[in-house]
Amino acid sequence: MHRMPVKTTAIQRLRRSRMFGWDGNPVRRRIDRLEGCMFAVLVAIFLIAAPVGAALAEHWTNGAGAKLQQEERSWRQVSAFVEGTPPGWQDNSPGPSGTVWMRAHWTAPDGRARKGWILVNPKTTVGSSPRIWVDNSGFVTQPPMLTDQLRGWIQIAEVIAPCLLALILILVGREGRFLFARRQMGEWDKP
């Protein structure tokens, strides 16, 4: 007997209906159908909540970034004067590669003299005056965040939010399957 090929979409629908427990199988227990419904509800929650979560993550990140940029507007670039202690700290120190920490002093925007460690090029000589970013109090900071950097953080948040939602729903689904399986095993011997 020769069989006719079945369309792949029909096979996929059949597999999905079995996965959700909607295939009309009379042998399928009620608890199996409930498990399939739980799975369908979790998929629906993800499809509805993922775009909302991404939009909320974008809004929150944009707001936090705008607040940070507002604070950074008060930061100023000042000249620091490198003091002794060459070559400074190197390699395993925090900071970009190809830089060293050296002692320096500078004047804060409020007029107070400050001293501390700054990141400089290893070829920087004692007495030179590299430019550094400081906050209102005169403490050394990193350069202010650029708008492109903020856009990058927003895009990362938009991707991470649905991924976290998916992870949470997967864990909830796994726990639900565990509870359903436990109940199935309890009803195994019942007629």
**Structure confidence by residue, pLDDT tens digits, 32-53:** 778 888 888 999 999 999 999 9
Mean pLDDT of the chain: 82
Could you tell me how far CA 64 lies from the centroid of its own chain? 14
Kindly report, residue by residue over 116-144, the tens digit of the pLDDT: 888 888 788 888 888 999 988 889 988 88
Query: What are the extents of the domains in the chain?
Result: 30-73+146-191, 76-143
Cite the DSSP H helix spans in 99-187: 147-186
In angstroms, the CA 142 to CA 114 distance is: 16
Q: Give the amino acid at 120.
A: V
